Structure 1
Amino acid sequence: MRILVVEDEPKLADLLQTYLQAAGYEARCTGDGLAVMPLIEDWPPDLVLLDLMLPGRDGLELCRDIRARTAIPVIMVTARTEEIDRLLGLELGADDYICKPYSPREVVARVKAVLRRSAADPAPAQAREVGGLDIDEGAWSARLDGVALDLTPVEFRLLVLLAGQPGRIFSRDQVLDGLYDDRRVVTDRAVDSHVKNLRRKLAAVRPDEELIRSVYGVGYRLELGGA
């Protein structure tokens, strides 16, 4: 599987490439933010390790662009540890994030975990319709009242989870179990952030309805007419 390492520190990029190749991956590196999207088009990777601070284009802008065009998993890498940066990376569609300094072995473990989730996601190629919501897991697409929803991979998994049992209350722990194999870096605030973003995208289609309800102290449930 192909891993694109976007890192502008040459020694660190070479170290990550060495560890990834030793783990059986094909890895390429670039430290130029402007080169990332052309490289993804010419050499489509299975995962992108994306540094936050880059020359040309920063990692957050690139993550937004990658998510708008593809479903390639993205792991954000940053030395800026402020929580807002972490949440912003997740809101833009990152599947995980790693803070510097880190162990290259930890990076490889995270890559394996995200790729394992990514490989498992398309397996149940099911289509369902409930209350005006159409979800096609095989095609990774969702529509509400016929309007396509532009969802990140994490938001899509969240919608699939909630729509599997409309009306059921899912706790944060159950949401985490449904979205992530490993919750080492995922906080309750990150879950709230994903729910907020999904709720906003649903509200763009049905502004007069609150489809995802927060049950104080318990969790979340999806409410659809006719469900």
Structure 2
Amino acid sequence: MSEHILVVEDDPTVRSFIEEYLGSQGYRMSGARDGTTMRHIFGKQDVDLVILDLMLPGEDGLELAREIRSESDVPIIMVTGRADIVDRVVGLEIGADDYIPKPFEARELLARVRSVLRRSQRSGNLHHEMKAGQNTATFAGWRLDMGRRQLYAPAGEEIKLTSAEFDLLAAFISNPDKVLSRDRLLDLVYGREMFPFERSIDVLVMRLRGKIEEDRANPIFIKTVRGSGYVFTPEVKIQ
């Protein structure tokens, strides 16, 4: 069955254009003009990707992205007519997987949709491969269940990770005490496919630090190596 894409866009002309174009490419499409309609669709159907406009009446796209990410790791592509880089950073901090400014060409949107869905599919395949081995990695009291893609804090509570955050942590755990450049991390996390902009890895590292570091402004696990990249410092044991 083809992937199901939900377009959350208050402009009916833009929403119809995206639905018709991506629908002609073989995707199953649903449209929502606001958060209420979006929730209704989520409650009735599985969604594989959300294309989410930033500037919505009432609840804006950032609020809805926070809500989606608190409940699901479904991929999100944020769309906006504003080109402010702050919006891009905030969107990625919340957990968006990609970001495309208006106006955009249909072919660019399609390329980004395909890229995000491929990354999501690759992440799912990696999940099944890891599950077969039932590997568990531990570091400084933390436990990462590779098979179930679940992270547990030293006190035992589960810490929710998006697919990208899990892939980044898995990349660090697989390369402890090695300086990984941003380009190398892009390879490991995104597979060198299309990514939002050059600060993607920095924002993703900041998100992951916010979940595993006591003080993400003074990290002890994920250290910045100025001019080179990042290094994961704790001792890692894999069972």
**What letter corresponds to residue 72 of structure 2 in structure 1?**
T
Which structure 2 segments of 5+ residues have no match? none
Which structure 1 segments of 5+ residues have no match? none
| Distance in 2 separating the partners of 1:216 and 1:3 | 40
Match for 2:91 among 56, 69, 89? 89
**What letter corresponds to residue 112 of structure 1 in structure 2?**
R
Distance change (3 Å), C-alpha of 1:19 and 1:174? same
| Distance in 2 separating the partners of 1:137 and 1:111 | 26
- The corresponding residue for 1:53 is 55
SS in 1 for 2:89: helix
| Distance in 1 separating the partners of 2:146 and 2:176 | 17
**What letter corresponds to residue 140 of structure 1 in structure 2?**
R
SS in 2 for 1:151: coil
Give 1:96-107 correspondences, 5 Å limit.
96-107=98-109
- The corresponding residue for 2:148 is 139
Give 1:107-122 correspondences, 5 Å limit.
107-122=109-124
| Distance in 1 separating the partners of 2:60 and 2:218 | 36
1:208 positional shift: 9.0
- The corresponding residue for 1:129 is 137
1:94 positional shift: 0.4
**What letter corresponds to residue 221 of structure 1 in structure 2?**
V
- The corresponding residue for 2:202 is 192
**What letter corresponds to residue 119 of structure 1 in structure 2?**
Q
Residue pair 1:147, 1:205 contacting (<8 A) in 2 also: no
What whole-Å deviation, never above 9, does each CA across 1:71-125 have from its counterpart, x for those lacking one? 1110001111111100100010001011100012211111111111101102233
Residue pair 2:65, 2:96 contacting (<8 A) in 1 also: yes
1:186 positional shift: 2.1
Q: TM-score, normalised by structure 1?
A: 0.91
More deviation in 113-122 or 153-162? 153-162
Distance change (3 Å), C-alpha of 1:22 and 1:137? farther
SS in 2 for 1:173: helix
- The corresponding residue for 1:182 is 193
Residue pair 2:206, 2:216 contacting (<8 A) in 1 also: no
- The corresponding residue for 1:149 is 159
Residue pair 1:6, 1:31 contacting (<8 A) in 2 also: yes
Residue pair 1:34, 1:57 contacting (<8 A) in 2 also: no
SS in 2 for 1:85: helix
| Distance in 2 separating the partners of 1:98 and 1:192 | 18
State the Cα RMSD in Å. Answer: 2.1
Match for 1:167 among 141, 163, 177? 177
SS in 2 for 1:3: strand
1:202 positional shift: 0.9
SS in 2 for 1:45: coil
1:142 positional shift: 1.3
**Are 2:225 and 1:223 equivalent residues in the alignment?**
no
**What letter corresponds to residue 130 of structure 1 in structure 2?**
T
More deviation in 58-67 or 104-113? 104-113
SS in 1 for 2:211: helix
Q: TM-score, normalised by structure 2?
A: 0.87
Distance change (3 Å), C-alpha of 1:18 and 1:208? closer
Distance change (3 Å), C-alpha of 1:103 and 1:182? same
**What letter corresponds to residue 149 of structure 2 in structure 1?**
W
| Distance in 2 separating the partners of 1:55 and 1:84 | 20
| Distance in 2 separating the partners of 1:212 and 1:53 | 34
| Distance in 1 separating the partners of 2:74 and 2:18 | 19
What percentage of aligned pairs have identical amino acids? Answer: 39
